[in-house]
Amino acid sequence: MPVFYDCSTAPSPRRARIVLAEKGVAHDVRQIDLASGEQLSPEFRAINPACTVPVLALDDGAVLTDNAGIAAWAEAVQPDPPLLGTTALEKAAVASWNSRIEGECFMAIAEVLRNRAKGMKDRALPGPENYPQIPELAERGRARLGHFLDRFEAHMAGRGWVATNDFTLADITAGVALDFAQWIKVDANEGRPAIAAWRERLAQRPSFAL
Amino acid sequence: MPVFYDCSTAPSPRRARIVLAEKGVAHDVRQIDLASGEQLSPEFRAINPACTVPVLALDDGAVLTDNAGIAAWAEAVQPDPPLLGTTALEKAAVASWNSRIEGECFMAIAEVLRNRAKGMKDRALPGPENYPQIPELAERGRARLGHFLDRFEAHMAGRGWVATNDFTLADITAGVALDFAQWIKVDANEGRPAIAAWRERLAQRPSFAL
């Protein structure tokens, strides 16, 4: 059975956890304790030299070391329910929104957190190398997030889901990101009724309790 | 016929230009002059409010506003030659490497360029909002790029192509990125024979002359 390397408190592996649940991909779980730096241990480096979770280790020895790889694999081995779109335009919309949410939202939140938190000194980026915090980047991340959320509210007005008429990977990425925003004390719902209504819909999915 | 909004000198639209050429997707071209800020004009904002190229405007009125969307659409409408992998593991490898190259390489180069260039004052990020340059981010980008290139050299040793046994989107993203690195005076080939040999192979593809 595939082994999923997870960290139950962290936003990045939560994205893959939800994908695997939506797809019904059975797997064992190993928790990696990011708080104590277990991702930097020799044992975990041997599994993923990039020192990040999520990781999905397959039965045939292949190791998928990020959300992009896990989502693409899961869609191919278990097409139902489709999470990456069905028609060409849907596939484009999912890929585009997923990429945009990663860059403009997820990354912006991470920039705020990692460049300010005392516990993340010299850990301004995930991975094997240390990088010093850049306080201006935390500030910029907060500004970027605000701009993104306003655009996202306009986009979500009158829509059921982020990228297509159905729940897709873009909803997973955005939903996990906006829960992550609470770590930097940003309530994305405040003054944004379309986002709030969509997050209510997300909260009704069993996978989002994971 | 689809209209491709391009900027012949810029790396991001070059990625989509190569995808369309590899797929043989016929299109008209409109050049957007990034040097003079045409991407911020009301006319272009009406096409893509994110103020970026590439953009592909389709006959049915749909507008694809980034590389992620254009690549996903092109793979769906024109499966041959496949650029996103064929088996589940190949699809995972292409998605994973593409994402990694974007984050660890393309972004690192852009950070150096945009946070240093005099002509990019207050344009530290693309898009409709202005952000001040952060000199530390330029420094960090240069360090990140060096680490990535060393890892990439180790990965490419003995390989023909980046993600699978065939040329894929990951080769396009990486190849365009390493040409882009010359803008910040980084020669990725120097001391890295596997990268140099792979770039020789890329240079033989007609699409890479675009």
Neighbours of B147 (CB within 10 A): 15
Nearest to B69 among A69, A77, A92 (CB): A92
Q: Supply the mean pLDDT for chain A.
A: 97
User: What range defines the domain where residue A110 resides?
Assistant: 88-209
Nearest to A2 by CA among A71, A69, A55: A55
Q: In this predicted complex, what is the ipTM?
A: 0.97
Displacement of CA A136 from its chain's centroid (Å): 24
Residue B141 lies in a domain: yes
What confidence tens digit (pLDDT) does each residue in B151-207 have? Answer: 999 999 999 999 999 999 999 999 999 999 999 999 999 999 999 999 999 999 999
In angstroms, rounded to a whole number, what is the distance separating the alpha carbons of residues A91 and B52? 20
Question: Are residues B95 and B45 located together in one domain of the fold?
Answer: no
In angstroms, rounded to a whole number, what is the distance separating the alpha carbons of residues B124 and B114? 5
Residue B68 lies in a domain: yes
Residue B82 lies in a domain: no
Structure tokens at B150: 């060393």
Residue B197 lies in a domain: yes
Residue A83 lies in a domain: no
The total number of structural domains that make up chain A: 2
Beta strands at B55-57 and B3-6: parallel, antiparallel or unpaired: antiparallel
Structure tokens at A180: 């992550």
Question: Are residues A109 and A56 located together in one domain of the fold?
Answer: no
Helix (H, G, I), strand (E, B) or coil at B24: coil
Question: Are residues A100 and A23 located together in one domain of the fold?
Answer: no
Question: Are residues B50 and B119 located together in one domain of the fold?
Answer: no
Can you give the CATH number for the domain in which B47 is found? Answer: 3.40.30.10
Question: Are residues A64 and A97 located together in one domain of the fold?
Answer: no
Question: Are residues A121 and A22 located together in one domain of the fold?
Answer: no
A29 Cβ neighbours under 8 A, 6+ residues apart: A3, A4, A6
Residues of chain A with pLDDT under 50: none
* B28/chain A closest Cα distance in angstroms: 19
Report, as an integer, the average pLDDT of B73-99.
98
Residue A82 lies in a domain: no
Numbered residues of chain A with Cβ closer than 8 Å to any chain B Cβ: 49-50, 62, 64-73, 75-77, 84-85, 87-89, 91-96, 98-100, 124-125, 129, 131-132, 134, 136-137, 140, 143-144, 147, 151
What confidence tens digit (pLDDT) does each residue in B111-120 have? Answer: 999 999 898 9
Residue B204 lies in a domain: yes
Helices (H), chain A: 11-23, 42-47, 67-77, 88-101, 107-114, 135-156, 169-180, 193-203
Q: B50, B77, B104 — which closes off a domain?
A: B77
Q: Specify the pLDDT at position B43.
A: 97
In angstroms, rounded to a whole number, what is the distance separating the alpha carbons of residues B127 and A120? 29
Question: Are residues B112 and B200 located together in one domain of the fold?
Answer: yes
Question: Are residues A46 and A115 located together in one domain of the fold?
Answer: no
Residue B51 lies in a domain: yes
pTM, two decimals, is: 0.97
Nearest to B134 among A134, A147, A151 (CB): A134
Rg (CA), chain A: 17
Can you give the CATH number for the domain in which B114 is found? Answer: 1.20.1050.10
* B8/chain A closest Cα distance in angstroms: 22
* A190/chain B closest Cα distance in angstroms: 22
